[in-house]
Amino acid sequence: MQSLRNWAQRDGSEAKLLISLGFPVFAALAANRGLSTISLSFVGKIGSSELAAAGLATSLANVTGDSVLVGISSAMQTLCGQAFGAKALKEVGNWWQRAVLILWVTCIPISLLWWFMQPLLLLIGQEAQVAYMTTMYLRGRIPGLWAYGLFQGTQAYLQSQGIVYPSMWSSIAVCVIHPAYTWALTYHTSASYLGAAFAYSISNSLQALMLLIIVFVAGYQKSTFGGISREAFNGWWTFFKLGLPSLLMLGEWWASEVVTIAAGRLPQPQESLAAMSIFQQTNALSFMLPLGLSIAVGIRVANELGAARPTQAKHSAAVGMKLSALLATCLGTTIFLARDPAYVHDTSSNC
């Protein structure tokens, strides 16, 4: 009985630690995802064509842009996390610089793809008007892509050290003010639906700037960042060896977004895309909690391995698996119980 009690206490202590790390990460993810949800809600009141284009552009941006940056930056959980656990603090700062540079280099082909997306959309059978409007929306989001690369690299740098609240607060703060200028740019300028794309880029830029200000004002960088280093240009292959497999593991994210893209080939493409974009925003939000937990587990395992405590790392992973099973059960039950169409708000009259 005593051994069982000790086991429960040990698991409980680790679970509390994972939750304390995972919840702020979830909050930051949800707030960041909320930006696109808010943008689409404003566009939806303009018309179904605009919502279809913005929804398709958002899915394309997630598949070809955001998910790529998130996947590649996942290497920071291992590389930066183990360096921090091993007390190689200057190397932590070097990995931060490498991450930002690598993510920005990755943004170059993505930006070109977004700029010239129209012929590709026509090639896969998208309606001409939707293809043109989607490409214009993607172009409006290009500045935000680069800002997101800076934000993602800095966020991963902090998270690997167990510092999770700065990215949460910066994301929430921007999410709160995002509707104001989205409303202004969408309804009170000639940009119309493109105003939502411009607002999204503004919000991503504010997120990155605010996070950097917090880092340097609070002094989170003092022990790890000694200034710009030439070392940032070394070790890129090591980063990609971990980042690329992590990127490929996001296939489930891509699959759900591809469903939205494929909706553009249905008999009523504008209405189908509009409906699927709403579904996808809801679907994505349901994955934020498990993703936050997985990042927390990755941080804990990397820190413990870096500190040469493999047994504790294994225990953290095991507790994370148990929490994941519990979380999946709770989320699945909630979605099942809320499946009644009466709970779904019909927006068709506004489109």
Dist. CA 203–CA 181, nearest whole Å: 9
Dist. CA 140–CA 69, nearest whole Å: 18
Decide: 146 and 107 in contact? Cβ < 8 Å: yes
In-domain check, residue 143? yes
Decide: 250 and 240 in contact? Cβ < 8 Å: no
Decide: 84 and 50 in contact? Cβ < 8 Å: no
Decide: 191 and 135 in contact? Cβ < 8 Å: no
The residue range of the domain holding 138 is 7-339
In-domain check, residue 67? yes
In-domain check, residue 195? yes
In-domain check, residue 114? yes
- DSSP-derived letter for residue 265 is G
- pLDDT one digit per residue (tens) for the chain, 351 residues: 545 555 567 788 888 888 888 889 889 888 988 898 899 889 989 988 898 899 889 888 988 998 899 889 989 988 998 899 888 999 999 999 999 999 999 999 999 999 999 999 999 888 899 899 999 999 999 999 999 999 999 999 999 898 999 999 999 999 999 999 999 999 999 999 999 999 999 999 999 999 999 999 999 999 999 888 888 899 999 999 988 888 887 776 777 777 766 776 777 776 776 677 667 666 777 777 888 888 888 888 888 888 888 888 898 899 989 898 888 888 888 878 876 654 444 444 444
Dist. CA 295–CA 168, nearest whole Å: 14
In-domain check, residue 221? yes
In-domain check, residue 249? yes
In-domain check, residue 347? no
3-state secondary structure of 203: helix
Work out how many domains the chain is built from and give that number: 1
In-domain check, residue 290? yes
